[in-house]
Amino acid sequence: MNSAQIATPKPSPIPNLSLKGRNTFGFEVCAELAYEITSAEQIPVVMQEVLRHQLPWRALGGGSNVILPKLLPGATLLMNIAGQEIISSDDSSVLIAVGGGVNWHEFVAWTLEQNLPGLENLALIPGTVGAAPIQNIGAYGVEIGDYIESVQAFDAHTQTFTTLTKEQCQFAYRDSYFKRNPHRFIVTKVTFRIPKQWKARIHYADLLKEFSGNSSPSPEEIFLAVCKIRTHKLPDPKVIGNAGSFFQNPIIPNEQFETLLHKYPELVSYPDAAGKRKLAAGWLIDQCGFKGQRMGNVGVYENQALVLVNHGNGTAQDILGLARCIQEKVHDEFGVKLEIEPNVF
């Protein structure tokens, strides 16, 4: 790890800023003090102010994987650090450095424009590059942790910048060292290593169906197919508030899987890298009758039971109440515990 601290003028705080457009659930949220962070050097100055006044604080990216309360007291750092560049290349791979505020989907599209395939299965995942390693975002058999070389972040415990290697990030399924140490790191830059040797990954059911007549699709074709599938399954947050997949796909031992499979022959699952079985959380929720159901101002999306939605005027309390109902029903029916994927502030 290395560290540096550079003095720079503090960005002016914006009092009582509405964050309704900064969280994809579309909740009415007010930030007591908001700071637009456009460079890493601004963070130490803001954090010194936070420490001096003993303010509560949090960093916020695209707001696509969060559940925010009506009031965010203290300081909210709005992460808008831009920039992406190829920093080195050799016979086997290319290194790309990307600012934490860069839109994730736009970055994936850019890699294809640069003829650097590998991330196409992760197309159309909402949010920013800075949030990607925290959740170790993944889709259709690909996890971003497999492509990360290092992560630069501000460590609130030491008040210095640090760079964590891929190994130090401790990536696991929808998990990382950052997620296990909440309220500590503010990700400012992510460096990706993209291998030059590419292979299509279309083993997930939706992609297999999409490419039933094409066993060797191009990266661009996979990108477009993923966009098509996600657009069909997931509602546009601009139309109806949501945070995408709300629950993680639970991973269970093979013995438990065999027992469930005997009782539910149609059980949807996938092999896990550790030799266990990953169940489709959406299927479990659907079997419990929640798909398309509404509870007050919130509900379960009609085309995908894994997605909880805000029909308008919903709150964090509403969505979490619905989530608890789903968790209890699924556990009663299948003996499986569903974990919430978004971060609860």
- CA 27 to CA 118: how far, in whole Å? 34
Section 238-251 average pLDDT: 94
- What is the dihedral sign for C-alpha 305, 310, 312, 317? positive
- CA 308 to CA 298: how far, in whole Å? 7
Percent of the chain's residues with pLDDT above 70? 97
Section 302-321 average pLDDT: 96
pLDDT tens-digit readout, 223-243 = 999 999 999 889 999 899 999
8 confidence band (pLDDT: 50, 70, 90): low
Burial 171-193 (b: 16+ CB within 10 A, else e): beebbbbbbeeeeebbbbbbbbb
Mean pLDDT of the chain: 94
pLDDT of 6 > 50? The answer is no
Exactly one of 120, 143, 210, 341 is catalytic; name it. Answer: 341
Would you give the DSSP letter of residue 235? -
Task: Identify the weakest region by mean pLDDT among 77-81, 202-206, 259-263, 336-340.
Answer: 202-206
Q: Which residues pair with 297 in a beta bridge?
A: none
For 335, residues 6+ apart whose C-beta sits below 8 A from its C-beta are 256, 260
Residue spans of the domains in the chain: they are: 14-79, 84-195, 236-344
Tell me what pLDDT residue 9 has. Answer: 64
Exactly one of 64, 245, 269, 277 is catalytic; name it. Answer: 245
pLDDT of 185 > 80? The answer is yes
Tell me what pLDDT residue 2 has. Answer: 47
The answer as to CATH 3.90.78.10 being correct for domain 236-344 is yes
The answer as to CATH 3.40.50.261 being correct for domain 84-195 is no
- Cβ burial, residue 326 (10 Å; 0-12/13-18/19+): buried
Section 107-132 average pLDDT: 97
pLDDT tens-digit readout, 11-64 = 899 999 999 999 999 999 999 999 999 999 999 999 999 999 999 999 999 999
Say whether 341 is catalytic: yes
> What topology does CATH give the domain 14-79?
3.30.43
Exactly one of 32, 41, 174, 201 is catalytic; name it. Answer: 174
pLDDT tens-digit readout, 68-107 = 999 999 999 999 999 999 999 999 999 999 999 999 999 9
Tell me what pLDDT residue 13 has. Answer: 94
Tell me what pLDDT residue 215 has. Answer: 83
Tell me what pLDDT residue 315 has. Answer: 97
pLDDT of 330 > 90? The answer is yes
Say whether 245 is catalytic: yes
Tell me what pLDDT residue 332 has. Answer: 98
Which uninterrupted H or E stretch holds 257?
helix 254-263
pLDDT tens-digit readout, 186-197 = 999 999 999 999
Tell me what pLDDT residue 204 has. Answer: 87
Say whether 277 is catalytic: no
Give, in order, the Cα–Cα distances in Å from 274 to each of 204, 253, 277. 17, 10, 9
